[in-house]
Structure 1
Amino acid sequence: DEEKGLHRSVTGVTMSPELFEKLYLTPKVPHVGDNNKRYANPTALGFVGFVISTFTFSMVMMGWGGASGLSPVVGIFFFVGPVLLIFAMVFEWIMGNFFPMMVMGLFAVFWLSFGCLQLPTLQLGASYASTADPSGYGSPEFNATVALYLIVWGFALFTFFIFTCKINAVFAAIFLLVSAGAWVLSAAYWKVSQGEYAQAAKLQK
Structure 2
Amino acid sequence: MERPTKTSEDEPVAHAHLERFMTTQSIPITPELFEKLYLSPHNIVKGDLRKKFANPTPVALGGFLLSLTPISCILLGWQGAGGLGASDVGAYIYFGGLLMLLGAVGEFLLGNSFPTVVFSTFGAFWFTFGATLTPSYGAYAAYATDPQDPLSGLTSPQFQASFAFFLMWMGVLCTVFLIASIRTNIVFFVIFLIVIPAFECLAAAFWHNSKGNLELGLKLQHAGAGILLVASLLGWYIFLALVLAGVDFPYELPLGDLSTRIPGASDRAVRARHVESPI
**Shorter-chain TM-score tier:** 0.7 to 0.9
Structure 1: which 5+ residue stretches go unaligned? Answer: 1-15
In 2: Cα distance, 1:20 partner to 1:57 partner: 61
Alignment match, 2:272: none
In 2: Cα distance, 1:119 partner to 1:161 partner: 31
**Which string of whole-angstrom CA distances, capped at 9 and with x for unpartnered residues, describes residues 67-126 of structure 1?**
122222111211111121111111111111111111110110001111222223433234
Q: How does 1:136-151 map to 2 (within 5 A)?
A: 136-151=153-168
Q: How does 1:5-154 map to 2 (within 5 A)?
A: 17-25=7-15, 32-69=46-83, 70-130=85-145, 135-154=152-171
In 2: Cα distance, 1:129 partner to 1:65 partner: 28
- Paired residue secondary structure (2:125): helix
How far does residue 136 in structure 1 lie from its aligned partner after superposition? 2.6
Residues 191, 50 of structure 1: alpha-carbon distance in 2 compared, 3 angstrom cutoff: same
In 2: Cα distance, 1:41 partner to 1:121 partner: 35
**Which string of whole-angstrom CA distances, capped at 9 and with x for unpartnered residues, describes residues 106-164 of structure 1?**
11000111122222343323443335986333222221111111111110111100111
**Which string of whole-angstrom CA distances, capped at 9 and with x for unpartnered residues, describes residues 38-68 of structure 1?**
1111101111111111001100110111212
**Percent of pairs with identical residues:** 35
Give the partner amino acid of 2:193: L
Give the partner amino acid of 2:210: S
Structure 2: which 5+ residue stretches go unaligned? Answer: 1-5, 20-45, 223-279
User: Which stretch shifts more, 186-195 or 75-84?
Assistant: 75-84
CA-atom RMSD in angstroms: 2.3
Question: How many residues end up aligned between the 2 structures?
Answer: 188
Give the partner amino acid of 1:142: F
After TM superposition, the score normalised by the length of structure 2 is: 0.62
After TM superposition, the score normalised by the length of structure 1 is: 0.82
Q: Which has the higher helix share?
A: 2
In 2: Cα distance, 1:141 partner to 1:105 partner: 29
Give the partner amino acid of 2:134: L
In 2: Cα distance, 1:126 partner to 1:35 partner: 46
How far does residue 17 in structure 1 lie from its aligned partner after superposition? 4.7
- Paired residue secondary structure (1:124): coil
Alignment match, 2:266: none
Give the partner amino acid of 1:152: W
User: Which stretch shifts more, 116-125 or 57-66?
Assistant: 116-125
